[in-house]
Amino acid sequence: MPLTLTLTKNVLPADKLQSAVKQLTQSFLKHHGLAGNTVMTPNVTAQVQILDPSHSFSGGEPLRGAWVEWKTPSFAFSTREVQVACGKEATEILHELSGGEQPKDNIYFNVVHTVDGTWNLNGEPLTNEELGKAIALGAPAPSAR
C-alpha cells in the first residue's frame, strides 16, 4: 500500500520525515486492524517528495502544503469510520511534527483505489480475494492484537 507524502520544502524539518512516514504507516495499519501483520507491514511502502516553494499552489496562488496520498485495493478505506480516523490522524501527525507551524487546513489527505487484480505481492499480481487471503496469513497471534 504505497504512501506518497508530498511536502513543500520546510513544512517539516528533514529530521522529522522518517517519523512522519512511520507514524502515518502505523496509523494506516492500526485503523485497518493490521497492526503487527507480518504480510502487510513490510508491504506498506512510502516515498517522500519535497517541492520547491514555487511549485505548490492553492487556487493558483503559492501555498505551503502537505499532501498524504494512499494507493490501496478497493477494500481499504471502505468505511467512513476508517476514512475519517485516518484523515484526522494524518493531519494531527503532520501538524504536530511541524511544531504546530503547518496549518491543518493546508494538510490534504486522499486515497486512490487500484483496479482489482493489479496488486502485486512478491512479484505476483493478486485479486482482492487473493490479497485478503495473503494478508490473513500474516495476522498476529490474538495476544499481539
CB distance 98 to 64 below 8 Å? no
Beta strand spans in the chain (E): 3-8, 46-51, 57-58, 61-62, 66-72, 107-113, 119-121, 124-126
Whole-number Å distance between alpha carbons of 3 and 77: 13
pTM of the model: 0.92
pLDDT in tens, 74-124: 999 999 999 999 999 999 999 999 999 999 999 999 999 999 999 888 888
How far is Cα 129 from Cα 114, in angstroms, rounded to an integer?
Answer: 14
142 half-sphere exposure, CB direction, 13 A CA radius: 0
Question: pLDDT band at residue 10, thresholds of 50, 70 and 90?
Answer: very high
Neighbours of 99 (CB within 10 A): 10
For position 120, what pLDDT does the model report?
85
pLDDT of res. 142: 55
For 24-42, the pLDDT digits (tens) are 999 999 999 999 999 999 9
User: Can you give the length of the chain in residues?
Assistant: 145
Residue 108: name the closest of 43, 44, 64, 47 by CA.
64
Return the CATH architecture of domain 3-144: 2-Layer Sandwich (3.30)
Compute the Cα dihedral for 119, 3, 40, 121 and give only its sign.
positive
Find the distance separating the first CA and the last CA of the chain, reported in whole Å. Answer: 21
Q: Which amino acid is at 76?
A: A
Domain parsing of the chain, residue ranges: 3-144
